[in-house]
């Protein structure tokens, strides 16, 4: 059964429209309370730094309270930190108010179960069914109470630090950290500083409107320039809710999620700690797959979206997976994608090996890949359009088995994503641009 409100990563949209209104959020809070804690309990709520977070938090709080559920307010907190604190507080659920890498005028809601995992499809459908029922209120004596957790940041910082061996010190490393003016602005710098690194921080002055604006993991030029300017050893870029990470080596060269996944996989394999297959997605570069094969590391591809990577890891007993965009899941360390924890695993490899970041990823040879976006008024499956199918077939015929083409609708934004990958960079760029024009013609 199709879901009415939930997408691939919770509920997301432009503030003031659709589901992103105070009235809907109050009803959502009530519906969530009824489903996850029908007999009372507590729910933790955290958010990123968008100005709309105040409004949405208050509306959710009212709805949860009317369902008889207590609320623990975490304030600005990375999404994976909320997953951890949901477990630590033995909460019935965790709620994240964030639209991740989207601009400030968007916002969204994501949920975690008591064990720090995403809600199941069945639970999301149950919440949607509850939303269609009239909202009521428990007796006054049973209303939920709200309390702010003042030490939430410190708790998460200690959890992140515990994800690497106690013997590992980052002393001597100079890191530039880009917090995307987002949820990690106050905890991210402290993690790396307390582990001994010299930390130059950028993107850590949120004003409610500048989240992801020209900074963070979707805008890497600023970080690359800063690493070179400061003569740093490397750079780390998080996104607005800090569940993604991209990195930069000392030369300013960007390392995406495929590079990070490769470095961590090699480190785990070298220490006989790699369990099960490594899981990427259909967007993962062919070079990563070939590199895994050369190392006799099983590699599998899931659909786009961290929830699908997670499902495949659980199905096949894997512990490491991720997306090119920087969602890296280290399930031997935590329960969800975590940009800070993934970065710490890479830094542990740097410290233990004595190698630079560029040396650690040096043997990964990527195939030229171009990803272009077409903005649309409403998402649709591009492969439902005969003209698009014909164009894709023509490109694949020209490539003669030496490349890949993938067209899909974004699960989080009104975009059609066009990806072409192959051996010839010019041919790949030309084919991607050709397909973009075909897609545009379908929405003209």
Confidence of residue 16 (pLDDT cuts 50, 70, 90): very high
Per-range mean pLDDT, top range of 203-212, 280-289, 378-387: 203-212
Residue % of the chain over a pLDDT of 90: 86
Fold entry, domain 256-339+359-366: Alpha-D-Glucose-1,6-Bisphosphate; Chain A, domain 3 (3.40.120)
> Beta-carbon neighbour count of residue 1 at 10 Å?
7
Query: Where in the chain are the domains?
Result: 11-150, 171-253, 256-339+359-366, 369-443
Q: Catalogue the long-range contacts made by 440-443 (C-beta closer than 8 Å, 24 or more residues apart).
A: 440/374, 441/387, 442/382, 442/385, 442/387, 442/388, 443/374, 443/376, 443/377
pLDDT for res 403: 82
Q: Identify the bridge partners of residue 177 per DSSP, sorted by sequence position.
A: 201, 236
Confidence of residue 90 (pLDDT cuts 50, 70, 90): very high
Confidence of residue 2 (pLDDT cuts 50, 70, 90): low
Fold entry, domain 171-253: Alpha-D-Glucose-1,6-Bisphosphate; Chain A, domain 3 (3.40.120)
Active site residue 100: yes
pLDDT for res 187: 98
pLDDT for res 418: 95
> Which among 100, 113, 224, 284 is annotated as catalytic?
100
pLDDT for res 232: 98
> Beta-carbon neighbour count of residue 301 at 10 Å?
16
Confidence of residue 212 (pLDDT cuts 50, 70, 90): very high
Q: Which class for 414: exposed (0-12), middle (13-18), buried (19 or more C-beta within 10 A)?
A: middle
Angle at 159 between CA 305 and CA 174, to 5 degrees: 85
| Alpha-carbon distances of 392 from 196, 302, 347, 443, rounded to whole Å | 51, 21, 40, 17
Give the mean pLDDT of the chain: 95
Q: What is the pTM of this model?
A: 0.90
Superfamily of domain 11-150: Alpha-D-Glucose-1,6-Bisphosphate, subunit A, domain 3 (3.40.120.10)
Q: Is 12 a residue whose pLDDT tops 70?
A: yes
pLDDT for res 111: 96
Please state the rounded mean pLDDT for residues 227-233. 98
Confidence of residue 331 (pLDDT cuts 50, 70, 90): very high
**CB-based burial, 118-153: b 16+ in 10 Å, e otherwise:** bbeeebbbbbbebbeeebeebeeeeebebeebeebb
Q: Is 198 a residue whose pLDDT tops 80?
A: yes
Domains 256-339+359-366 and 369-443 share a fold: no
CATH class (in words) of the domain with range 369-443: alpha beta
Q: Which tokens sit at 321? A: 């997976």
Pairing of strands 299-302, 278-281: parallel
Per-range mean pLDDT, top range of 188-192, 369-373, 376-380, 383-387: 188-192
Please state the rounded mean pLDDT for residues 358-383. 90
Sign of CA dihedral 241, 342, 154, 148: positive
Look at the block and give the residue holding tokens 């967007």: 283
DSSP character at residue 30? H
Please state the rounded mean pLDDT for residues 409-416. 84
**CB-based burial, 194-211: b 16+ in 10 Å, e otherwise:** ebebbbbbbbbebeeebb
pLDDT for res 29: 98
Backbone angles phi, psi at 416, to 5 degrees: -105, 125
């Amino acid at each position: 059964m199709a879901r009415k409100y939930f997408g691939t990563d919770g509920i997301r949209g432009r503030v003031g429209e659709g589901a992103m209104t105070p009235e809907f959020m109050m009803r959502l809070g009530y519906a969530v309370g009824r489903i996850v804690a029908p007999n009372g309990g507590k729910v933790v709520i955290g958010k990123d730094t968008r100005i709309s977070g105040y409004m949405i938090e208050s509306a959710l709080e009212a709805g949860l309270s009317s369902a008889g559920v207590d609320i623990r307010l975490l304030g600005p907190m990375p999404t994976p930190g909320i997953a951890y604190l949901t477990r630590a507080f033995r909460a019935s659920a965790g709620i994240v108010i964030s639209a991740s890498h989207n601009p400030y005028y968007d916002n969204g809601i994501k949920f975690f179960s008591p064990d720090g995992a995403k809600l199941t499809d069945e639970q999301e459908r149950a919440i949607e069914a509850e939303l269609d029922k009239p909202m009521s209120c428990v007796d006054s004596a049973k209303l939920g109470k709200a309390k702010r957790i003042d030490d939430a940041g410190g708790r998460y910082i200690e959890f992140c630090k515990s994800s690497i061996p106690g013997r590992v010190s980052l002393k001597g490393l100079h890191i530039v950290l880009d917090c995307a003016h987002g949820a990690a602005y106050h905890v991210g710098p402290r993690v790396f500083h307390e582990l001994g690194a010299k930390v130059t921080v950028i993107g850590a002055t949120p004003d409610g409107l500048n989240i992801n604006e020209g900074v963070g993991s979707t805008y890497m030029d600023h970080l690359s320039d800063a690493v070179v300017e400061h003569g740093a050893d490397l750079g780390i870029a998080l996104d607005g809710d800090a569940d993604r990470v991209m990195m930069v080596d000392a030369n300013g060269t960007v390392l995406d999620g495929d590079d990070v996944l490769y470095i961590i996989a090699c480190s785990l394999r070298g220490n006989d700690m790699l369990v099960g297959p490594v899981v990427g997605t259909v967007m993962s570069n062919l070079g990563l797959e070939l590199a895994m094969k050369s190392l006799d590391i099983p590699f599998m591809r899931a659909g786009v979206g961290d929830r699908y990577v997670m499902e495949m890891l659980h199905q096949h007993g894997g512990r490491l997976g991720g997306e090119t965009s920087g969602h890296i899941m280290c399930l031997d360390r935590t329960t969800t994608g975590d940009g800070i924890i993934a970065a710490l695993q890479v830094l542990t490899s740097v410290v233990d090996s004595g190698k630079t970041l560029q040396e650690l990823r040096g043997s990964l040879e990527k195939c030229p890949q171009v990803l272009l976006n077409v903005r649309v008024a409403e998402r649709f499956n591009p492969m439902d359009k005969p003209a698009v199918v014909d164009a894709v077939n023509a490109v694949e015929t020209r490539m003669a088995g030496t490349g890949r083409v993938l067209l899909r609708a974004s699960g989080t934004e009104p975009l059609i994503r066009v990806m072409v990958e192959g051996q010839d960079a010019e041919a790949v760029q030309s084919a991607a641009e050709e397909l973009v024009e075909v897609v545009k013609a379908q929405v003209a």
